[in-house]
């Protein structure tokens, strides 16, 4: 008697699916087809989304040169070129984690309205099969073409339904899911994309109109839109296709440095520490000989012309209070204590706002950088402070920023962030000659 074996698989709704496999010399089960069936059955209730994010500009500029996209949750970064759209593809469904990979293949748009493009990379040229299967495993359409190595694109049309797409070539095999929402009664068809050669499809040389990024529901994304000297940050957790608009704002200091900006609530903030270095620079001997104190090299000296030092370019300048009041870009000002409070209240209060402001990871912050999500895009950095008498301290562990409000004639209110917690410290500096960081807010 042939032996039997049961394979059990639980889908997202906790229904157990049982396959009984009869083992005999005359019967074999193709593992790839089994994976296909599992994928398609689970896909009924867990089919992945496919969001398209387009970008526009307004304010000081209406054009977009590029958009840098960071998935803060996954720690990945891509750049979307001008005139491209961002395609967010689902990577969370259990079906994707079975035995099939969509790496190397892209179907767009997906869901399919009238027709879609199947784009894939052929590691080697030669005979390649492109097939579409229905939910019950039936082969709906399939073609075999002789292609060349490189990027290849085919056009696909299918009746309304859920499908499994397979591309099999020499030393490569790609699989992907597709949903057709076609309203018409389309005949299944796969053809060479217009401009291709059915016997020899050359690698595509044209710029893609879509930039794809893996995405899971709830991931925190940070978009940095760039237009010439302008750059604006927006954060989002997309749950649908949409258009994201960047409002570009002038933020340029006396040295010609241009700053990225971010909107938090109704306020527009600099998303970088100020790094303006005027020509008047104190010698930093322990005695303040001018009303200005610009220190930035974090090595115990201050040289006004050495503007390429790493810590300066990363963390900005550390200013005393008078210097901070004088150094702000035109159209901007040092935030008042009330404006700092308005921002932290908008973020849920001081106890949780710090994590939402801090840059994620430990590239600049010391470990563990508790609670850092940067979901505001503020990207706070730990520049530390410069003591009045020679010495820098707390770089990497602590960041502190001036407000424009004095507490007493000799002290001013400040805000601080620390690496081991997610709160925002609110206090004052008893010495207004120390050097700390500056973030400005738009007038």
Q: Predicted confidence band at 349 (pLDDT cuts at 50, 70, 90)?
A: very high
What integer pLDDT is reported at residue 248 of this predicted model?
A: 98
Most confident of 201-215, 246-260, 277-291: 246-260
Extract the tokens encoding 165: 């797409």
Give CA angle at 121 (118, 123), nearest 5°: 145
Q: Tell me the per-residue pLDDT of 104-141, one tens digit each, with 9 for 90 and over.
A: 788 888 888 888 889 888 888 888 999 998 876 778 89
Residue 188 has pLDDT above 50, yes or no: yes
Residue with tokens 């796969």: 190
- Alpha-carbon gap, residue 333 to 438, rounded angstroms: 10
- 14 compared with 48, residue with greater pLDDT: 48
Residue 272 has pLDDT above 70, yes or no: yes
Q: Tell me the per-residue pLDDT of 415-441, one tens digit each, with 9 for 90 and over.
A: 999 999 999 999 989 888 888 999 999
**What average pLDDT score do residues 390-413 get?**
90
Q: Which helix (H) or strand (E) holds 319?
A: strand 318-319
| Domains of the chain with CATH codes | 3-46 (no CATH), 47-84+216-248 (2.60.40), 85-210 (2.60.40.1930), 264-442 (no CATH)
Residue 94 has pLDDT above 50, yes or no: no
Residue 103 has pLDDT above 70, yes or no: no
Q: Across all residues in the chain, what is the average pLDDT? A: 79
Extract the tokens encoding 238: 């997309």
How many CB atoms neighbour CB 21 within 10 A? Answer: 14
- Alpha-carbon gap, residue 33 to 30, rounded angstroms: 5
Extract the tokens encoding 441: 């807010």
Q: Tell me the per-residue pLDDT of 366-401, one tens digit each, with 9 for 90 and over.
A: 999 999 999 999 999 999 888 877 677 888 999 999
- Alpha-carbon gap, residue 160 to 185, rounded angstroms: 8
Residue with tokens 């960047």: 246
Residue 290 has pLDDT above 50, yes or no: no
What integer pLDDT is reported at residue 96 of this predicted model?
A: 36
What integer pLDDT is reported at residue 91 of this predicted model?
A: 63
Residue 24 has pLDDT above 50, yes or no: no
**What average pLDDT score do residues 66-86 get?**
92
What integer pLDDT is reported at residue 316 of this predicted model?
A: 87
- 111 prior amide bond cis, ω within 30: yes
**What average pLDDT score do residues 151-172 get?**
89
pTM comes to 0.65
What integer pLDDT is reported at residue 30 of this predicted model?
A: 52
What integer pLDDT is reported at residue 35 of this predicted model?
A: 52
Instruction: Assess contact for 264 and 424: CB atoms under 8 A.
Output: no
Give the 3-state secondary structure of residue 267. strand
Give me the helix-helix angle, 350-357 and 337-346, nearest 10°. 90
Q: Tell me the per-residue pLDDT of 308-330, one tens digit each, with 9 for 90 and over.
A: 345 777 888 888 898 899 889 99
């Amino acid at each position: 008697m042939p032996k039997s074996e049961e394979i059990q698989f639980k889908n997202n709704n906790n229904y157990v699916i049982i396959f009984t496999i009869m083992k005999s010399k005359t019967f074999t089960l193709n593992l790839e087809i089994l994976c296909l069936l599992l994928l398609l059955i689970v896909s009924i209730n867990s089919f992945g989304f496919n969001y398209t994010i387009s970008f526009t500009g307004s304010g000081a500029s209406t054009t977009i040169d590029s958009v840098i996209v960071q998935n803060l949750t996954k720690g990945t970064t891509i750049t979307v070129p001008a005139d491209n759209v961002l395609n967010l593809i689902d990577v969370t469904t259990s079906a994707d984690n079975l035995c099939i990979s969509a790496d190397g293949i892209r179907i767009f748009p997906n869901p399919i309205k009238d027709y879609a493009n199947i784009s894939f990379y052929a590691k080697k040229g030669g005979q390649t099969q492109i097939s579409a299967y229905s939910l019950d495993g039936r082969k709906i359409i399939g073609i075999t073409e002789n292609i060349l190595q490189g990027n290849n694109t085919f056009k696909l049309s299918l009746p309304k339904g859920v499908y499994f797409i397979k591309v099999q070539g020499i030393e490569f095999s790609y699989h992907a899911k597709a949903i057709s929402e076609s309203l018409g009664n389309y005949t299944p068809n796969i053809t060479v994309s217009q401009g291709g050669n059915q016997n020899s499809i050359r690698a595509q040389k044209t710029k893609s109109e879509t930039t794809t990024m893996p995405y899971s529901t709830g991931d925190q994304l940070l978009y940095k839109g760039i237009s010439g000297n302008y750059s604006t940050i927006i954060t989002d957790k997309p749950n649908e296709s949409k258009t994201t608009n960047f409002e570009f704002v002038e933020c340029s200091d006396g040295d010609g440095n241009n700053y990225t900006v971010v909107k938090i609530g109704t306020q527009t903030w600099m998303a970088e520490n100020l790094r303006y270095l005027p020509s008047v620079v104190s010698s930093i001997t322990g005695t303040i000989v001018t009303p200005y104190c610009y220190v930035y090299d974090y090595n115990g000296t201050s040289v006004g012309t050495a503007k390429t030092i790493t810590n300066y370019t990363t963390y900005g300048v550390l200013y005393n209070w008078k210097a901070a009041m004088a150094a702000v870009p035109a159209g901007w000002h040092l935030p008042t204590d009330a404006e700092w409070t308005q921002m932290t209240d908008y973020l849920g209060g001081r106890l949780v706002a710090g994590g939402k402001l801090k840059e994620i990871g430990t590239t600049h912050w010391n470990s563990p950088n508790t609670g850092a999500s940067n979901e505001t895009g503020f990207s706070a950095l730990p520049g530390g402070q410069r003591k009045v008498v020679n010495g820098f301290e707390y770089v990497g562990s602590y960041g502190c920023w001036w407000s424009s409000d004095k507490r007493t004639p000799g002290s001013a209110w400040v805000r601080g962030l620390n690496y081991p917690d997610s709160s925002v410290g609110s206090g004052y500096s008893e010495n207004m000659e120390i050097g700390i960081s500056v973030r400005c807010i738009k007038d």
